[in-house]
Amino acid sequence: MSTENPRAEERETRTTAPAPGLLPTLDAPAPERADAARNRRRILDAAARIVAERGPDAVTMNQVAHASGIGVGTVYRRFGDVSQLLWALLDDRERRFQEAYMSGPPPLGPGAPTAERLDAFLDALVDRVAEQREILLAAHSAAPRARYHSGAYRLMHTHVALLIGQLRPGADGALLAHLLLAPFSPDVMHHLAVEQELSGERLKAGVRELLTLRQGS
């Protein structure tokens, strides 16, 4: 589904939680036949086992086909490539994250002052990327630009742009939202958290400090 209508997303955050399966970001497939749904579940479960046992770098379409007992042609038809398969593995966790910031309790969800919601969202995003860093990094490495065309990114961008617009009316919220989300690219977060050995708390503090650099000038 499209997430390009900020007003629709804003109305949604002010009302009730969206019904499961109606989140406007995950590009959910049309209703499936029972056998197709079972095959999809078997493929995703097989991929998840490979990730858990050997890491995301070990995931190949042939390996998943073998582990699931489903023909490799079917695996390709369902998911296209390894990148899309890895993104699909993140789907359930992404739905929970979306529900939290769109309709969950404040400060991450509606009801808190805008600045607090933005801080809470960025803190939660640090945790989200850390929790799924290996899969996110593998998916990003396979198709670096896919992140920006995913439904999950589009909704995050719309949400952050709305918050920026409330904080700074007249600002270019769409551009600023892209720039604010840029450090959360999996490769950047991997570099900071793993290669630079920065803790999640230090990353959260750094993001907040970045947002206030010019307040004292």
Residue found by looking up tokens 């998916």 in the block: 139
**DSSP code of residue 18:** P
pTM above 0.75, yes or no: no
Is 177:164 a contact under the CB 8 Å cutoff? yes
Q: Are 3 and 155 in contact (CB under 8 A)?
A: yes
**Digits of tens for pLDDT over the chain (217 positions)?**
333 343 434 433 333 333 333 334 444 555 678 888 899 889 989 998 898 788 888 999 999 999 999 999 999 999 999 888 887 888 767 888 999 999 999 999 999 999 999 999 999 999 999 888 888 887 788 788 888 888 889 999 999 999 999 999 999 999 999 999 999 999 999 999 999 999 999 999 999 999 998 876 5
Q: Is the dihedral of CA 126, 52, 148, 23 positive or negative?
A: negative
pLDDT tens by residue, 35-45: 888 998 899 89
Dihedral Cα 17, 19, 23, 27, nearest 10 deg: 180
Non-local CB neighbours of 64 within 8 Å, separated by 6+ positions: 43, 46, 47, 50, 75, 85
